[in-house]
């Protein structure tokens, strides 16, 4: 797949990147930048751009260093251009197909959350007691990479990895949504059973046959 990107006064055409090249961008470039190593991250970004564009890094530098976002902006454009077409519609289609649109993250019981702070429970925007508080937020981006799937798609187009990941996520959340419905039904059945028992008791009637055990 050949993609074209326009950045400032320059326009380039290149083959789409692989999932492995996307991983390198996240770990070798973005993680450095988010850690405050901006100069080194910019150098790594130029080397990465040189590799994926098959152009000398010096030539690329002439076209990107004066841009507001520098080489990082061009890297993001390339990655966005390699995303599957209609990705948002694909996400929605899969959510409907696998039932993940019924998943309710707010329904997760607090005891199942890795951190019990107000922020992680959705009750505050910030909580200084959060277990993640002192960590670089980009660490969460890296930890969310499906390494098993990535290794399978390493040399394949980035779009393949993205599509397979969205499918896996939709399937997983669809199963969780089904479990949530089952738990909700069990709770409602128990509530109705209790209400029936209370009604029979108030009427001073013997227990209903189904409640005698």
Q: Which of 110-124, 138-152, 193-207 has the highest mean pLDDT?
A: 138-152
d(CA 40, CA 34): 11
d(CA 69, CA 63): 12
d(CA 50, CA 60): 7
Residue with tokens 């260093």: 65
SS3 state at 50: helix
Does the structure show a pLDDT above 80 at 44? yes
Compute the average pLDDT of residues 9-16.
84
| 99 and 187 assigned to the same domain | yes
| 98 and 8 assigned to the same domain | no
| 103 and 195 assigned to the same domain | yes
Does the structure show a pLDDT above 90 at 102? no
Answer yes or no: are the C-beta atoms of 65 and 49 closer than 8 Å: no
Domain boundary among 34, 52, 82: 82
The parent domain of residue 117 ranges over 87-202
| 99 and 149 assigned to the same domain | yes
d(CA 42, CA 67): 13
Buried b (16+ CB within 10 A) or exposed e, 200-213: eeeeeeeeeeeeee
Does the structure show a pLDDT above 70 at 186? yes
Looking at the 3D structure of the chain, how many domains does it have?
2
Beta bridge partners of 6: 11
Compute the average pLDDT of residues 36-41.
91
Does 212 map to a domain? no
Give the model's confidence band at 67: pLDDT under 50 very low, under 70 low, under 90 confident, else very high.
confident
Answer yes or no: are the C-beta atoms of 145 and 151 closer than 8 Å: no
Does the structure show a pLDDT above 70 at 178? yes
Predicted pLDDT at 87:
83
| 177 and 98 assigned to the same domain | yes
């Amino acid at each position: 797949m050949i993609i074209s990107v326009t950045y400032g006064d320059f326009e380039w055409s290149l083959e789409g990147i692989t999932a492995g090249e996307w991983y390198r961008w996240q770990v070798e470039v973005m993680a450095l930048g988010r850690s405050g190593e901006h100069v080194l991250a910019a150098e790594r970004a130029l080397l990465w751009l040189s590799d994926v564009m098959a152009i000398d890094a010096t030539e690329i530098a002439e076209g990107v260093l004066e841009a507001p976002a520098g080489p990082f902006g061009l890297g993001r454009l390339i990655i966005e251009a390699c995303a599957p077409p209609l990705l948002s519609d694909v996400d929605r289609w899969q959510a409907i197909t696998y039932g993940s649109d019924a998943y309710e993250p707010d329904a997760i019981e607090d005891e199942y959350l890795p951190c019990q702070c107000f922020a992680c429970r959705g009750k505050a925007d910030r909580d200084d007691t959060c277990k993640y508080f002192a960590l670089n937020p980009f660490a969460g981006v890296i930890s969310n990479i499906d390494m098993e799937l990535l290794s399978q798609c390493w040399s394949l187009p980035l779009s393949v990895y993205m599509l397979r990941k969205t499918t896996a996520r939709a399937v997983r959340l669809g199963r969780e949504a089904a479990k949530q419905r089952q738990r909700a039904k069990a709770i409602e059945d128990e509530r109705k059973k209790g209400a029936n028992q209370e009604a029979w008791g108030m009427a001073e009637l013997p227990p209903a046959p189904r409640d005698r055990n």
